[in-house]
């Protein structure tokens, strides 16, 4: 089983799809800031990993 997976998130500013590598050996919640590769604006990325290693990705404006 690989320890990292690539997840897709959608920039809240320009709508473009970005990818980020996530270490999902830790179950629970990851919360971090990523810059969009197109418009370079920071998005808040929230990734939730359940015990069955299903990954849920959510992107938000950082000022919310």
Q: Which residues sit at the interface with Zn ion, rule CB under 5 A? A: 11, 13-14, 36, 38-39
In angstroms, rounded to a whole number, what is the distance separating the alpha carbons of residues 60 and 42? 9
Least distance CB 10 / Zn ion (angstroms): 9
Q: Which is nearer to Zn ion, 7 or 11 (CB)?
A: 11
Q: Which is nearer to Zn ion, 34 or 48 (CB)?
A: 34
| Pair 35, 44: CB distance under 8 Å | no
Least distance CB 37 / Zn ion (angstroms): 8
| Pair 44, 33: CB distance under 8 Å | yes
Q: Which is nearer to Zn ion, 8 or 14 (CB)?
A: 14
Question: Residue 51, Cβ neighbours under 10 Å: how many?
Answer: 7
């Amino acid at each position: 089983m690989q320890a990292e997976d690539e997840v897709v998130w959608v920039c809240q500013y320009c709508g473009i799809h970005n990818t980020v590598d996530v270490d999902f050996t830790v179950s629970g919640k990851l919360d971090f800031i990523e810059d969009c590769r197109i418009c370079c604006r920071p998005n808040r990325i929230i990734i939730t990993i359940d015990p069955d290693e299903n990954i849920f990705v959510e992107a938000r404006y950082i000022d919310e």
